């Protein structure tokens, strides 16, 4: 159970502690932040409301700890990461319980998130050992005008202190996807978890604590964004920010200054369906891609662009599948669970009402109880409706009927977002040409958008983000290149 057994030391009364200098601590603010259970809409957990002074301390120790960590052998860093991965998997049940209570993630998916995170950490440890174990050796005579008088040795070195800010929808997985590459590369790490999801993240951090990482190398501060949000992202001690979330990321990027940024800020992933597509496959992918975790995924299918000729048939197939989805509490492992906050539910409702006023066809009756919204397919959506462009982050999916491939590509590319997209067709040549034309970081052919497997590159274009993620790209992003050049007094050519 959360906060018990090995996790007893991370809680004081009913308030979870924050993690600094290798210890679990109470904030001097004496204040806490409530975490509302999306299902009951009542306070379920509380976390410390950390102060700016506490953030300063965390940054100070992170800087010192990083210097020593950078001198720790790579195999040793990997060994500790493997330990943390094993502990995370061992304690998957209490961590998954937090995900159920804080973010209403269906019970089985919550366990999958924790296990996937353990696998991600282990893979990162192995990838890091190989990737960072190699550098480059360059010789000067390949550039015009030079003899072989210079040997250049390059290696990848850490950036320093990495600030990781994951989102509510994967508070464990999208935290470790930042923590593990940062650590294997020799950085220290400060985590600011989302409020909703903070307790799961604190349990995850405790697994790193139990694994025996040096004091101060990893810290986790909780609290109100209004108090410590900007203070963290603009802190002079931060050398890299890895952020996943909404358009707050755009604001952070404007304020961050000379700091490398890795950002994923959502998407409006289009699903283009051609006339020759396998419609059963498409319907299955639309339901999985659009409605898993109630549509609260950056990579969810967020608009279907289907050729008019097959639209009726596709809509019928999707509706038949939607009718079978279970709707209810995450504890019962329902397919559709309450969305994360009341304001989120209100926002989704606003998009639905706008579509209603403008004449969209409701394939199901709109139903809502508290934060729980029943799955809804909106047909005959037109570009003047907000839902054609905005990201609902809920179980509501618009269908736009198109008369040409160009129309579909045009709608996809007119979006501010450019995370992923997908195309369904049996014609691989057409699929590749459509993929090339879609201005998104990834295009899936004959499958719904998805970030995983976690070693695949993951990137958004336009407002969807900066830089590329995925294990290898994240390790590279969290390092910089250092060169040492050996200058010889006279040219020397290596002989066989
Ligand atoms: O930010 C990425 C996340 O929302 C989607 O991840 O694994 O569900 O494709 P995934």
Distance CA 450, CA 458 (A): 9
455 is a domain residue: no
Same domain, 41 and 93: yes
Residues lining ligand 1, CB < 6 A? 169-170, 244, 264, 297-299, 450-452
Same domain, 252 and 279: no
Same domain, 323 and 217: no
Distance CA 19, CA 54 (A): 10
In the reported structure, the alpha carbon of residue 298 is separated from the centroid of ligand 1 by a whole-number distance in angstroms of 5
Closest CA to ligand 1's atom 6: 451
Distance CA 144, CA 388 (A): 55
Distance CA 299, CA 290 (A): 9
In the reported structure, the alpha carbon of residue 266 is separated from the centroid of ligand 1 by a whole-number distance in angstroms of 9
- CATH code of residue 90: 3.40.605.10
Backbone torsions φ then ψ of 127, nearest 5 degrees: -60, -40
Q: Which two tokens stand for residue 324?
A: 């079978």
Domain carrying residue 117? 5-265+465-481
Neighbours of 198 (CB within 10 A): 28
Read off the DSSP letter of residue 4.
S
Closest CA to ligand 1's atom 7: 451
Does an H or E element contain 180, and which? helix 173-184
Exposure letters 80-92 (e unless 16+ CB within 10 A, then b): bbbbbbbbbbebb
Is the Cβ–Cβ distance between 199 and 45 less than 8 Å?
A: yes
Same domain, 330 and 206: no
* DSSP per-residue letters across 8-56: GGGEETTEEPEEETTEEE--TT--EEEEE-TTT-SEEEEEE---HHHHH
208 is a domain residue: yes
Mutating to test ligand 1, I would choose from 285, 292, 299 the residue with most ligand atoms within 8 A of its C-beta, which is 299
Same domain, 261 and 308: no
Report CA dihedral (273, 278, 280, 284) to the nearest 10 degrees. -60
Is the Cβ–Cβ distance between 439 and 413 less than 8 Å?
A: yes
- Mind telling me the catalytic residues? 264
Q: What angle do CA 388, 170, 285 make, to 5 degrees?
A: 50
Nearest atom of ligand 1 to the alpha carbon of 169: 4
For tokens 């970030």, name the residue.
451
Closest CA to ligand 1's atom 1: 298
Residues 6+ apart with CB under 8 A from 131: 156, 472, 475, 476
Residues 6+ apart with CB under 8 A from 187: 66, 69, 158, 159, 160, 161, 162, 239, 240, 478
Backbone torsions φ then ψ of 158, nearest 5 degrees: -65, 160
Mutating to test ligand 1, I would choose from 340, 417, 451, 454 the residue with most ligand atoms within 8 A of its C-beta, which is 451
Q: What pLDDT sits at residue 218?
A: 98
Nearest atom of ligand 1 to the alpha carbon of 452: 7
Residues 6+ apart with CB under 8 A from 95: 2, 88, 110, 114, 172, 200, 203, 204
Same domain, 258 and 309: no
457 is a domain residue: no
Read off the DSSP letter of residue 160.
S
In the reported structure, the alpha carbon of residue 132 is separated from the centroid of ligand 1 by a whole-number distance in angstroms of 27
In the reported structure, the alpha carbon of residue 450 is separated from the centroid of ligand 1 by a whole-number distance in angstroms of 6
- CATH code of residue 339: 3.40.309.10
Is the Cβ–Cβ distance between 300 and 270 less than 8 Å?
A: no
490 is a domain residue: no
Q: Which two tokens stand for residue 474?
A: 């994240």
Distance CA 104, CA 44 (A): 12
495 is a domain residue: no
Instruction: Say how many domains are in the chain.
Output: 2
Nearest atom of ligand 1 to the alpha carbon of 454: 7
In the reported structure, the alpha carbon of residue 296 is separated from the centroid of ligand 1 by a whole-number distance in angstroms of 9
Nearest atom of ligand 1 to the alpha carbon of 298: 4
Same domain, 287 and 184: no
Distance CA 383, CA 394 (A): 19
Nearest atom of ligand 1 to the alpha carbon of 292: 8
Same domain, 327 and 223: no
- pLDDT string in tens for the chain (496-residue length): 999 999 999 999 999 999 999 999 999 999 999 999 999 999 999 999 999 999 999 999 999 999 999 999 999 999 999 999 999 999 999 999 999 999 999 999 999 999 999 999 999 999 999 999 999 999 999 999 999 999 999 999 999 999 999 999 999 999 999 999 999 999 999 999 999 999 999 999 999 999 999 999 999 999 999 999 999 999 999 999 999 999 899 999 999 999 999 999 999 999 999 999 999 999 999 999 999 999 999 999 999 999 999 999 999 999 999 999 999 999 999 999 999 999 999 999 999 999 999 999 999 999 999 999 999 999 999 999 999 999 999 999 999 999 999 999 999 999 999 999 999 999 999 999 999 999 999 999 999 999 999 999 999 999 999 999 999 999 999 999 999 999 999 999 999 9
Same domain, 171 and 103: yes
Q: What pLDDT sits at residue 488?
A: 98
Same domain, 295 and 348: yes
In the reported structure, the alpha carbon of residue 65 is separated from the centroid of ligand 1 by a whole-number distance in angstroms of 31
Nearest atom of ligand 1 to the alpha carbon of 449: 9
Residues 6+ apart with CB under 8 A from 327: 334, 335, 336, 372, 374, 375
Q: What pLDDT sits at residue 425?
A: 98
40 is a domain residue: yes
Same domain, 259 and 204: yes
Mutating to test ligand 1, I would choose from 262, 298, 441, 463 the residue with most ligand atoms within 8 A of its C-beta, which is 298
492 is a domain residue: no
Closest CA to ligand 1's atom 2: 298
In the reported structure, the alpha carbon of residue 358 is separated from the centroid of ligand 1 by a whole-number distance in angstroms of 31
346 is a domain residue: yes
Is the Cβ–Cβ distance between 18 and 222 less than 8 Å?
A: yes
Same domain, 145 and 60: yes
Q: What pLDDT sits at residue 404?
A: 98
Q: What pLDDT sits at residue 405?
A: 98
Mutating to test ligand 1, I would choose from 164, 174, 268, 468 the residue with most ligand atoms within 8 A of its C-beta, which is 174
Burial class from Cβ neighbours inside 10 Å (0-12, 13-18, 19+) for residue 148 reads middle
In the reported structure, the alpha carbon of residue 409 is separated from the centroid of ligand 1 by a whole-number distance in angstroms of 23
């Amino acid at each position: 159970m959360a906060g018990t057994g090995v996790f007893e030391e991370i809680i004081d009364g009913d308030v979870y502690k924050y993690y600094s200098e290798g210890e679990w601590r109470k904030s001097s603010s004496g204040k806490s932040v409530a975490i509302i259970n999306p299902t009951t809409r009542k306070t379920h957990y509380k976390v410390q409301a950390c102060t700016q002074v506490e953030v300063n301390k965390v940054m100070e120790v992170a800087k010192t700890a990083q210097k020593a960590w950078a001198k720790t052998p790579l195999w040793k860093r990997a060994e500790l990461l493997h330990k943390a991965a094993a502990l995370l998997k061992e304690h998957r049940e209490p961590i998954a319980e937090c995900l159920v209570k804080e973010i209403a993630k269906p019970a089985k998916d919550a366990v999958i998130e924790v296990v996937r995170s353990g696998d991600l950490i282990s893979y990162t440890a192995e990838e890091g050992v190989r990737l960072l174990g190699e550098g480059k050796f360059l010789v000067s005579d390949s550039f015009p005008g030079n003899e072989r008088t210079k040997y250049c040795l390059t290696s990848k070195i850490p950036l320093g202190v990495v600030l990781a800010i994951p989102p509510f929808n994967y508070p464990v997985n999208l935290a470790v996807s930042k923590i593990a590459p940062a650590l294997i590369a020799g950085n220290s790490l400060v985590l600011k978890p989302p409020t909703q999801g903070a307790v799961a993240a604190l349990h995850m951090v405790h697994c790193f604590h139990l694994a025996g990482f040096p004091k101060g190398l990893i810290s986790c501060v909780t609290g109100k964004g209004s108090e410590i949000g900007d203070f963290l992202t603009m802190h002079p001690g931060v050398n890299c920010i890895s952020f996943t979330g909404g358009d707050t990321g755009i604001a952070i990027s404007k304020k961050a200054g000379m700091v490398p940024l890795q950002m994923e800020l959502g998407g409006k992933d289009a699903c283009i369906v051609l006339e020759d597509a396998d419609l059963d496959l498409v319907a299955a992918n639309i339901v999985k891609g659009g409605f898993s975790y109630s549509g609260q995924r950056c990579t969810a299918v967020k608009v279907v662009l289907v050729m008019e000729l097959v639209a009726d048939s596709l809509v019928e197939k999707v509706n038949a599948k939607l009718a079978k989805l279970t709707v209810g509490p995450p504890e019962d492992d329902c397919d559709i669970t309450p969305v994360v906050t009341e304001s989120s539910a209100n926002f989704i409702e606003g998009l639905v009402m706008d579509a209603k006023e403008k004449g969209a066809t409701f394939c199901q009756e709109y139903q809502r109880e508290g934060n729980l919204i029943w799955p809804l397919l909106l047909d005959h959506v037109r570009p003047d409706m907000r839902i054609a462009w905005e990201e609902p982050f809920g179980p509501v999916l618009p269908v736009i009927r198109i008369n040409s491939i160009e129309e579909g590509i045009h709608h996809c590319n007119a979006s501010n977002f450019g995370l992923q997209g997908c195309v369904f067709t049996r014609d691989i040549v057409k699929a590749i040409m459509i993929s090339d034309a879609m201005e998104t970081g990834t295009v899936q052919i004959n499958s719904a958008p998805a970030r995983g497997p976690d070693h695949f590159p993951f990137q958004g274009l336009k407002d969807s983000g900066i830089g590329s993620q995925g294990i290898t790209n994240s390790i590279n992003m969290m390092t910089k290149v250092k060169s040492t050049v050996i200058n010889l007094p006279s040219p020397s050519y290596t002989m066989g």
